[in-house]
Amino acid sequence: MPKGPAVVSSDRKTSSREGLAEEERSARLELRSISKSFGAVKALHEVDFEIYPGEVVGLVGDNGAGKSTLTKIVAGITQADSGETYIDGRKVNIRSPSDASKLGIETVYQDLALCDNLDVVANLFLGRTQKRRFGPIRFLNEEDMERQAHDVLASLDVRTLRDVRAPVASLSGGQRQSIAVARAVMWNSRVVLLDEPTAALGVAQTAQVLALIKRLREAGLSVMLISHNLVDVFEVADRVIVLRLGRRSATFDVKGTSVEDVVGAITGAEFGVAS
């Protein structure tokens, strides 16, 4: 067991969103004092991060601030040099993407998420047909998979998709992103990391993905959204955590915060952000 306190510091608790505020409630995911260097580049310096069940946290910061590095550490793609990770108050070691997946952490990248030449059903079940982690059925036939694909898309209210047998290459960017998110959430995931999910999307498609993020929150998942688009972040996030030059420089509740406040923290213009 870790020696340190099992709960987050009180200032962070009071800044968490309504309904969670005063409870002695474990964060779904908590990172403590994560540091990571690439040679001489200190990408992350003693970064803390916490996200609660049913919460969307926007992780923002300028290019090179360390956002993707932090995501990759949580996703098991990269290992931190030092620091600790807790899931529901329990210390964990995430050494590979499969460790992350076993802990219910799924990551969605804009481009790497799907296999173009396969249909929607195949993408949803890719690499997973014999490895379901819930329910009694180990081997699924095509009809079962197709039915479940329909069910998960319906449960996420993905309506624009006409045919789950369509190859993913024929889908729009927003539809592809929806499939990637559906794939991430249909395996009992508890934390979903989205690194720039709307960067390449048009207005309507972005709205579709943001609506999906809200539904994940309603389902009690924790969603970490990395985006340079603060309008998107403000639309869906409960809190915003700012990284600047590899350090966590500010935390905001979205309610009562302006985009200008966050821009100030990102650029360091208005805040004493050094520590």
Binding site for ligand ATP (CB under 6 A): 38, 41, 43, 61, 63-69
- The count of chain residues that interact with Mg ion, using the rule CB under 5 A, is 1
Among 16, 26, 68, 205, binds Mg ion (CB under 5 A): 68
Kindly state the DSSP code that residue 167 receives in the 8-state scheme.
Answer: B
Please give the residue whose beta carbon sits closest to Mg ion in the complex. 68
66 binds, among Mg ion, ligand ATP, none (CB under 5 to 8 A by kind): ligand ATP
SS3 56: strand
Piece of 2-10, 63-71, 76-84, 232-240 that binds Mg ion (CB under 5 A): 63-71
When the beta carbons of 63 and 130 are compared against Mg ion, the nearer one is 63
249 binds, among Mg ion, ligand ATP, none (CB under 5 to 8 A by kind): none
From CA 188, how far away is CA 191, in angstroms rounded? 9
When the beta carbons of 65 and 168 are compared against Mg ion, the nearer one is 65
179 binds, among Mg ion, ligand ATP, none (CB under 5 to 8 A by kind): none
Q: Which residues contact 266 (CB under 8 A, 6 or more apart)?
A: 60, 61, 62, 65, 242, 244
From CA 195, how far away is CA 228, in angstroms rounded? 10
Q: Which amino acid is at 89?
A: G
Note whether 78 binds Mg ion by CB under 5 A: no
When the beta carbons of 41 and 169 are compared against ligand ATP, the nearer one is 41
Residues 129 and 46: beta-carbon distance below 8 Å: no
According to DSSP, the β-strands at 82-87 and 41-51 are: unpaired
Min CB(137)–ligand ATP separation in Å: 39
76 binds, among ligand ATP, Mg ion, none (CB under 5 to 8 A by kind): none
Q: Which regions of 128-236 does DSSP assign to beta strands (E)?
A: 191-195, 222-226
2 binds, among Mg ion, ligand ATP, none (CB under 5 to 8 A by kind): none
From CA 275, how far away is CA 264, in angstroms rounded? 16
From CA 92, how far away is CA 87, in angstroms rounded? 7
When the beta carbons of 81 and 88 are compared against ligand ATP, the nearer one is 81
Binding positions for Mg ion, rule: CB under 5 A: 68
